[in-house]
Amino acid sequence: MQRADVLIVGAGHGGAQAAAALRENGFQGSVMMVGREPDMPYERPPLSKEYLAREKEFDRILIRTAQFWEDKRIAMLLGTEVVGIDPAAKVATLSSGRTIGYGFLIWATGGDPRRLSCSGADLVGVHAVRTHEDADRLMHQLDGGARRVVVIGGGYIGLEAAAVLTKLGCSVVLLEALPRVLARVAGESLSAFYQAEHRAHGVDLRTGSSVECIEGDGTKVTGVRLHDGEVIGADLVIVGIGVVPCVAPLIAAGATGRNGVDVDNFCRTSLPDVYAIGDCAAHANRFADHETIRLESVQNAVDMATTAAKSICGLVAPYEATPWFWSNQYDLRLQTVGLSTGHDEAILRGSPASRSFSVIYRRKGMVVALDCVNMVKDYVQGRRLVESRAQVDRGALEDIYQPLKEL
Amino acid sequence: MIGECRVRGVQGGKLSYRRQGTIMLAIQVIKRSGTTQAISAAPGISLREALRSHGIDELVALCGGCCSCATCHVYVEHGPQGMDQVGSPDEDDLLDCSVHRQPNSRLSCQIALDDTTGPLVIRIAPAD
């Protein structure tokens, strides 16, 4: 049986950073990375942005070159996945039946796109945007002349895809079941702003609109039927309704976790020498008042990877990174710092009409997050307010002539 | 390829050269350890991409080069006139994230390598 001193399961942002960080921190043992996709680690955010828009080809979104992984002695086992773990024997089983022993295991599998539960969800022409293959399939259909697009879900992925496809000349209908887009991650003023922007760019954006089923001609999609009976004709449908953490083998092996897998502040699961990082890792986050949450972001995947790698190298550095996030749509650069979940006040700084403004979120008087649209200065200067849970006068936060760094 | 584009000094004149029909740019990279690595890059990509392609793993470059973070911070020690100056107000603001900012600080994702680039010597800024 083959054995790796550290076996990394998942070759996304988290897995790649875990491997790199192990070497950076002096780890000399064998490291193997198992990835379900055939590709070496690549950046996912561009899949719904520059890659989809064909501004960047695939080679340019690889996280590292093949040579890098070779130089760092990171063995890659791609196109296969871990389906079982024996935590007592410290052995992982691959889908092929092959087994690999490990000293430490880092679980970095992220999540799978949540699928529609209605009929027609499997029709040709229904896409997620999570993997290289997803994006290529979608782009192939665009090359074939598909122009009528329905996007289901008004989260970041859906909105980014809608922005790119509109620019590419598609007619786009975006359906959000809740009363506003970005409801899970942002305040009402930001949602209203993005809704107006998408509509101004020609997107038929509908909120409070729920899908009955996907209609097809037997094999491929022809339209989307809404609850009210309307059918929207479509050549392709993009489903962006969240991800489901990929943790079944870990949970089956006895790891605790109800939404993802539970980890402590060193990213250790309840199984011996098994770590979990990234989208699938449920952790008590200091920026969420120590509530147990999962964070689906590159920042979280990369910073947790570093935490796990350092812990394996014997360095004590608990996970307490400041959450940040970005989303590019049209010519709008959104940058978020902190977590706005649970805020009781959303303070507008600047005017959305100017397309350059910030929303500052407070909870019990403390600054907990900022959403900054084309307003890098606030994003940079607001970070300190978030990190220190600053209690700042509302009037000062609203005053655009008063730099946040002076508060 | 790296061995073929040694740069012996920044005063050494024209460092970009033609190789198999393609102009390659010679860049000296001073890493955090203080050691220098000479790399070559084809024009048409960003400095960040050139650094990544040569396995310089000290730069995290989390946002993939879209000027949304400040994790690809470098110092331009020698380069064409103006390369050590920020390219946009956004870049300027993002660099303010770093406590290690200097007058010659740049985000490497915002430095486009073209035929006129070089001689170029850059230093990787300390991690924040």
SS3 string, B45-84, reads: CEHHHHHHHCCCCCCCCCCCCCCCCCCCEEEEEECCCCCC
Average pLDDT, stretch B26-46? 91
**In A, residues 297-316, which contact B (CB 8 Å cutoff)?**
298-299, 302
Q: Would you state the pLDDT for residue A4?
A: 98
Judging contacts by C-beta atoms under 8 Å, the chain A residues touching residue B90 are 333, 376
Rounded CA separation A145/A236 (Å) = 10
Q: Point out which residues pair with A156 in neighbouring strands.
A: none
Q: What is the mean pLDDT of chain B?
A: 79
Per-residue pLDDT reduced to its tens digit, A71-117: 999 999 999 999 999 999 999 999 999 999 999 999 999 999 999 99
CA distance B81 to B124: 19
Q: What is the pLDDT of residue B45?
A: 86
What mean pLDDT comes out for the span B92-105?
92
Q: Which residues is B40 bridged to in the sheet? A: B26
E strand or H helix at B90 = helix B89-95
Spell out which residues of chain B touch residue A61, defining contact as CB-CB under 8 Å: 64
Helix ranges (DSSP H) in A244-364:
248-252, 298-312
Query: Picking from A112-116, A177-181, A291-295, B10-14, which range would have the lowest pLDDT averaged per residue?
Result: B10-14
What is the phi-psi region of residue B28: left when phi exceeds 0, alpha when psi lies from -120 to 50, beta otherwise? beta
Given this model, what pLDDT does residue B115 score? Answer: 79
Which residue reads 């936060």 in tokens?
A397
Q: Where are the alpha helices (DSSP H) in A214-262?
A: 248-252
State the Cα–Cα distance between residues A370 and A394, nearest whole angstrom. 14
Structural tokens at position B79: 């380069």
Average model confidence (pLDDT) across chain A = 96
| Residue of A83, A221, A81, A236 lying closest to A150 (CA atoms) | A236
- Across residues B36-45, what is the average pLDDT? 89
Residue A368: predicted pLDDT: 98
Q: What is the mean pLDDT of residues A254-265?
A: 98
- pLDDT value of position B97: 84
Chain A contacts of B53, Cβ < 8 Å?
65
pLDDT, position B22:
63
A19 contacts on B by Cβ (under 8 Å) = none
CA atoms of B14 and A93, how far apart (whole Å): 56
DSSP for residue A116: P
Is residue A80 within 8 Å of A48, Cβ to Cβ? Answer: no
Q: pTM for the whole thing? A: 0.92
Which of A17, A43, A324 is nearest residue B64 as measured by Cβ atoms?
A: A43
A34-81: per-residue pLDDT in tens?
999 999 999 999 999 999 999 999 998 999 989 999 999 999 999 999
Per-residue pLDDT reduced to its tens digit, A337-371: 999 999 999 999 999 999 999 999 999 999 999 99
Range among A67-71, A150-154, B7-11, B83-87 with highest mean pLDDT value = A150-154
How far is Cα B128 from Cα B110, in angstroms, rounded to an integer? 19
ipTM of the prediction greater than 0.95, yes or no: no
Peptide bond before residue B119 is cis, with ω within 30 degrees of 0: yes
Cβ-based contacts under 8 A for chains A and B: 60
State how far the Cα of A9 lies from the Cα of A45, in Å rounded to an integer: 20
Tokens representing residue B128 in the block = 């924040």
Query: Which residues of chain B approach chain A closer than 8 Å at the C-beta?
Result: 45, 49, 52-55, 57-58, 60, 62-64, 66-70, 89-90, 93-94, 96-97
Between A45, A65, A335, which is nearest B53 by CB? A65
Pairing of strands A148-152, A236-239: parallel
| Candidates B55, B64, B67; nearest CB to A61 | B64
Phi, psi of B121 (to 5 degrees): -130, 120
Give the model's pLDDT for residue A70.
95
Per-residue model confidence as pLDDT tens digits over A168-226: 999 999 999 999 999 999 999 999 999 999 999 999 999 999 999 999 998 999 999 99
Nearest Cα neighbor of B98 from B64, B63, B123, B74 is B74
- A65 min Cα distance to partner chain B (Å): 6
Q: Nearest by CB to B55, from A43, A49, A67: name it.
A: A67
Which residue on chain B is closest to A374 by alpha carbon? B90
Proportion of chain A in helix, strand, coil states, percent, rounded to 5: 30, 30, 40
> Where do runs of H (alpha helix) occur along A261-371?
298-312
* Smallest Cα distance from B98 to chain A, Å: 9
Which of A183-197, A295-309, A312-326, B79-93 has the lowest average pLDDT? B79-93
Peptide bond into A249 cis (omega under 30): no
